[in-house]
Structure 1
Amino acid sequence: MDITVIHSRLLQLLSDFDRLCKQNNIEYTLHGGTLLGAIREKGFIPWDDDADISMTREEFEKLKSCLKRNNSQYYIRGTIKSQFCDNNNADVWIDIFVCDYITGNKILQKVKILLLTVLDIMLRDKNSIKYSNTDNYSKIKQIIFYCIYYFGKLFKNSWKQSWYILLSKKGFKGQNNFQIRTNDQFVGRKIVMPTKWMNEFIDIPFESTNLRVTKYYTELLTSSYGSNFMTPVKETRINEIHDQIRNNGFDFGL
């Protein structure tokens, strides 16, 4: 699909999402490449073909309840890797990254992140395994990865999903001073953020509309991209995955 068509449809979906959130007092922030584009270009990065937002677990639960209560055309796809979708516009989606509390203890932080990563691998299917990019791992890490994956086959998906959500919400919370994006990829999941980053929000221009971002967007972008976040690197592998979903109907949401 032509990128200009994708951007047009994504903008409509983002506008609908923003309107729905504001009508129901639900807070969120643009995230990842979508946030980067908002700050650098006041819109989409030219090659970005999806949209990312993040929100706290509390706000995510409010969103799910709102959609269920209103029986609207919108829905959440996936149990762990969640996406906001429109029944009338299936070719685009908004990835939702959920922020849960994590302890300030460095050792216990690593334990929680490691356990989430193990469950993440155990939950993968043949399509998501195909695009896991394990070729970049050492031989030992590849062996461990596939051992965890096949070990996960011993358990029902519903069990693994329940464990993942329980660990995300209840495990190693500490004093609620820090959060991580529990359903992010490993690189994003290991970024520990002060809770205040997800407590204050502002509206900024994005293409022809205004969307929400955290007041601490500079800190958030620096944590993800480094201090040179204004010059992002194009990630073509992710675009290939999205094309597979559009063309073949794969559902990579866990």
Structure 2
Amino acid sequence: MNLNAEVICDFKVSTLRKKVWQAQLDMVKIFIDICDKYKLKYFAAGGTLIGAIRHNGFIPWDDDIDLMMPRKDYEKFIKVAKEELKKEPYFLQHYSTERDYPNGHAQIRNSNTTCFIKESYSDLKKGKNCGIFIDIFPYDVLFDNYRKRQKYCRKIKLFKALSLWRVYTPKSLLRKVIMHLYFFFHSLQKTILKVDNLSKNIPNKEKYNMVALASFMPGYEKNVWAKEWFDQTLYHQFEDIQIAIPLYYDEVLKKEYGDYMTIPEHKGGAIHGQCYFNCDIPYEKFKDLTKKEFDELFLENQL
């Protein structure tokens, strides 16, 4: 990848952003190698899928990679990746590899780099991996009926919220009270596991024809698709690699984003919020920062 700063779609792409992209692409290549080795199905998702179709690579103002896998393939990936990613500097981040990891999906991290969001200070102090990452989401079968699906997702959403409140203390007094009462009787690790089990174990799931990112965004109908849209795979250019996309990518993206081919007037922003990236310094080098020093990192609008 050419690391020189340039303007793409009227947006200035900095050298640092390109270095972040390169670090992420390196992890995508490793991920694809593992999937090819074990014959696992995966697809580009979210902004990564838009980027592939609209830009043949990253959306110029994007700063992450989103991949998704059918639950069966995802579970096998988690199992084999624990061995495949033992070589430094890469790390599989999942609730089975890092204690108190509350997310309903996995991440691959580069431990020789740094990626902080505002909530990362507590993770840093607890010794959690805060390297640059890519996201890997499982998608699960859910009920075809909207009301039944929403009712079931409310359960997942509740336990997911409780897990996040436990790890990242909420500001709301009511949420704090609810969280402390709940965890007086329950463990965090079992609550995280409950999100996973609810997401992948709906009753009689072989009868249903809808799939969703249930463990990541439960109840979000934009992330509910027809199962058949992911039956077949195409390959599409993404920067200097070929990446798997669903045959019905147009239907998938229109359901999630509407008119995804139109370049938005407002460019920038990400689901993670403001981030601090450093491609040259491992996150562990920041472990002695005070909260004030940590917050000051975000004053540098690097990307």
- TM-score exceeds 0.5: yes
Supply the AA of the counterpart residue of 1:117: K
- Corresponding residue number in structure 2 for 1:139: none
Provide TM-score, normalisation by structure 2. 0.68
Pairwise mapping of residues 137-152 of structure 1 onto structure 2 (< 5 A)? Answer: 149-152=179-182
SS at structure 2 position matched to 1:210 = strand
Q: 1:109 aligns with which of 113, 126, 149?
A: 149
- Corresponding residue number in structure 2 for 1:207: 239
Q: 1:76 aligns with which of 80, 92, 96?
A: 92
Matched, 1:184 2:216: yes
Q: 1:36 aligns with which of 32, 50, 64?
A: 50
Pick closer, same or farther for the CA change 1:6–1:152 going to 2, 3 Å.
farther
SS at structure 1 position matched to 2:158 = helix
Deviations along 1:109-152, one digit per CA (max 9) or x if unpaired, are 0111111111111001477566xxx9xxxxxxx78766654554
| Larger helix proportion of the pair | 1
Pick closer, same or farther for the CA change 1:150–1:48 going to 2, 3 Å.
farther
Pairwise mapping of residues 120-159 of structure 1 onto structure 2 (< 5 A)? Answer: 120-125=160-165, 128=168, 149-154=179-184, 155-159=186-190
Pairwise mapping of residues 1-254 of structure 1 onto structure 2 (< 5 A)? Answer: 2-70=16-84, 72-73=86-87, 74-79=90-95, 80-88=104-112, 91-125=131-165, 128=168, 149-154=179-184, 155-174=186-205, 175-186=207-218, 188=220, 191-232=223-264, 234=267, 236=269, 238=271, 240-243=273-276
- For residues 109 and 144 of structure 1, the distance between their equivalents in structure 2, rounded to whole angstroms, comes to 27
Contact 2:107 2:135 in 1 (8 A): yes
Contact 1:57 1:100 in 2 (8 A): yes
- For residues 230 and 212 of structure 2, the distance between their equivalents in structure 1, rounded to whole angstroms, comes to 11
In the alignment, structure 2 segments of 5+ residues that lack a partner are: 1-14, 96-103, 115-130, 288-303
Deviations along 1:80-113, one digit per CA (max 9) or x if unpaired, are 2321234455632111111111111222201111
SS at structure 2 position matched to 1:165 = helix
Contact 2:144 2:210 in 1 (8 A): yes
Taking every aligned residue pair, what percent have the same amino acid on both sides?
A: 23
Larger Rg: 2
Contact 1:28 1:212 in 2 (8 A): yes
Deviations along 1:42-69, one digit per CA (max 9) or x if unpaired, are 0011121111011111011111122234
Provide TM-score, normalisation by structure 1. 0.80
